[in-house]
Amino acid sequence: MIFYTAITLGILIVIHELGHFLAAKLTGMRVDRFSIGFPPRAFGKKIGDTDYCISWIPIGGYVKIAGMIDESFDTEFLHREPQSWEFRAKPMWARMSVISAGVIMNVLLAVVIFWGIKYVSGKFVIETTEVGYVVEGSVAEKAGIRSGDKIITINDKPVYDWEEIQRLIYFEHLGRNIIITVERAGRQKNIVLPPKVITDRTEIPFDIVEAHTVALILDVQPDKPAAKLGLKTGDVILSLNDIPVRAHLQVIKIVRSHAGKQLKVTWRRDEQVYSGITTPTDSGRIGTGITTRYTGPFRQIKYSVIQALVAGLEQVVEAPILFIASVRQIIAGTVSFKDSFGGPIKIAQFATRSAEYGILSYLFFLGQLSMMLAILNILPIPALDGGHLIMLIYEKIFRREIPHNVKLAIQQVGFILLLAFMAFIIYNDISSF
């Protein structure tokens, strides 16, 4: 887990900071330091004018550019006249390009990754519109969607596969009432879903799972209830207390509801079926990583190089759309703030699990994370790239420079807030681990 986390974060940070570094070099700025992590400095090597190093606070990285107030909080240059190689001496377009370059590099990385994935693997189309599992108490269940329903149309538009269902709900009809026509027991029924149907797309779309899925075990932690029972990676959970299960969320809910209580588990390994009794921990866990795996009919569409690029760009565009939708839900109170962010532990979990699926799965996760890093960095928050851009835009509009002591104070406050936010999500990770 530590290996995949280090590789994942290392790639994203290096790519991001490389953008700042190259833009600074191309515009004639001197780069004093290229750091992975924030100060204080741990170790490194100076080559030419630049100190390439690792720093102690592992929440990102930075490029120290001469004549710029940044994460290093260096102010010595303020006591001398601007030099031609300094950030402050360069025209506005050069300064803005340097600040934007990190985000641009993260977006380009995502484009290249998604482009390559689409070209190599094409498009995996789940050829079913039948609902297999509906999360208990969810918006979908309350609206009347049931297991076994076959979705016929969404807002009068026919659907033929599961991706169309997700696309229509997440993009074409995002934030509007959605009328879903389903076929149940040979009869058609209209079901109205309110605008707040999106929960967390990294789990399952608006709390329903397609038919033909199984709950697949990805890993088993040693000395935990699952390991003592005999469960192994690759096993399929068939039922819990004789209740058939089809999705990982279903397993999680049932296990948590039996915290400290005996639970009958039935599972399949190859062609053999096993059964046994276990007792989840007091926190409602049995020590497994689990996912939902589709096993039904599908088709694979192959792309040309150009078609793959277009499909990759479409994948990139999805990220800001879903981010905006998530922010709206947080503001509306339909999703809690603490459930919307993950830190190093969650990244480690997702990186490890995606890697276990194979290189394409891991690269897809890396591309998504790269886009999220780009989006978060461009937000107008002090200490982030977006905060620097806002100050530059202010100076351009009002044609006056923000006092250096004000810039320094803004950076310091932003850095403290960033540390506090990181502490919060790490605590949140640990409490839900």
- So where are the chain's domains? 2-120+370-431, 125-211, 215-294
Of the two residues 163 and 53, the one the predictor is more confident about is 53
Asked if the model's pLDDT at residue 253 lies above 70, the reply is: yes
The 3-state DSSP class for residue 240 equals strand
Asked if the model's pLDDT at residue 242 lies above 90, the reply is: yes
Per-residue pLDDT band for 105 (boundaries 50, 70, 90) equals very high
Q: From CA 202, how far away is CA 204, in angstroms rounded? A: 6
Average pLDDT over residues 302-309: 95
Per-residue pLDDT band for 241 (boundaries 50, 70, 90) equals very high
Range of lowest pLDDT (132-141, 223-232, 233-242): 132-141
pLDDT of residue 22: 96
In this structure, are residues 88 and 24 in contact, taking their beta carbons and an 8 Å threshold?
no
Range of lowest pLDDT (28-37, 203-212, 233-242): 203-212
Quote the CATH superfamily of domain 125-211: PDZ domain (2.30.42.10)
Range of lowest pLDDT (102-111, 198-207, 250-259): 198-207
Structure tokens at 237: 């959970």
Give the number of C-alpha atoms closer than 13 A to the C-alpha of residue 57, restricted to the C-beta side. Answer: 16
In this structure, are residues 42 and 53 in contact, taking their beta carbons and an 8 Å threshold?
yes
Is residue 265 classed exposed, middle or buried when 0-12, 13-18 and 19+ CB atoms within 10 A define those classes?
Answer: buried
Give the number of C-alpha atoms closer than 13 A to the C-alpha of residue 233, restricted to the C-beta side. Answer: 9
Q: From CA 147, how far away is CA 211, in angstroms rounded? A: 8
Cβ atoms within 10 Å, residue 379: 12
pLDDT of residue 166: 83
Of the two residues 290 and 408, the one the predictor is more confident about is 290
Cβ atoms within 10 Å, residue 338: 12
Average pLDDT over residues 61-85: 76
Distances from the Cα of 100 to the Cα of 166, 171, 351, 401, 426, angstroms: 32, 27, 27, 19, 27
Average pLDDT over residues 62-75: 75
- Phi, psi of 261, rounded to the nearest 5 degrees: -120, 155
Average pLDDT over residues 275-287: 94
pLDDT of residue 16: 94
User: 187: which strand partners?
Assistant: 184
One of 2.170.120.12, 3.50.50.60, 2.30.42.10, 2.80.10.50 is the CATH number of 215-294, namely: 2.30.42.10
Per-residue pLDDT band for 203 (boundaries 50, 70, 90) equals very low
Is residue 331 classed exposed, middle or buried when 0-12, 13-18 and 19+ CB atoms within 10 A define those classes?
Answer: exposed
Asked if the model's pLDDT at residue 200 lies above 60, the reply is: no
Of the two residues 126 and 69, the one the predictor is more confident about is 126
The 3-state DSSP class for residue 263 equals strand
Q: From CA 200, how far away is CA 206, in angstroms rounded? A: 8
125-211 and 215-294, same CATH topology: yes
Asked if the model's pLDDT at residue 188 lies above 90, the reply is: yes
Asked if the model's pLDDT at residue 83 lies above 50, the reply is: yes
Q: From CA 313, how far away is CA 350, in angstroms rounded? A: 23
Of the two residues 332 and 283, the one the predictor is more confident about is 283
Per-residue pLDDT band for 151 (boundaries 50, 70, 90) equals very high
Per-residue pLDDT band for 430 (boundaries 50, 70, 90) equals low
Mean pLDDT of the chain: 85
Of the two residues 68 and 211, the one the predictor is more confident about is 211
Of the two residues 356 and 405, the one the predictor is more confident about is 405
In this structure, are residues 100 and 53 in contact, taking their beta carbons and an 8 Å threshold?
no
pLDDT of residue 73: 60
Average pLDDT over residues 93-105: 95
Is residue 163 classed exposed, middle or buried when 0-12, 13-18 and 19+ CB atoms within 10 A define those classes?
Answer: middle
What's the start-to-end Cα distance of the chain, in Å? 14
Average pLDDT over residues 49-68: 87
pLDDT of residue 39: 81
Per-residue pLDDT band for 197 (boundaries 50, 70, 90) equals low
pLDDT of residue 251: 93
Asked if the model's pLDDT at residue 385 lies above 70, the reply is: yes
Sheet (strand 157-158) strand order:
157-158, 150-154, 178-184, 187-193
The 3-state DSSP class for residue 92 equals helix
Per-residue pLDDT band for 263 (boundaries 50, 70, 90) equals very high
pLDDT of residue 383: 78
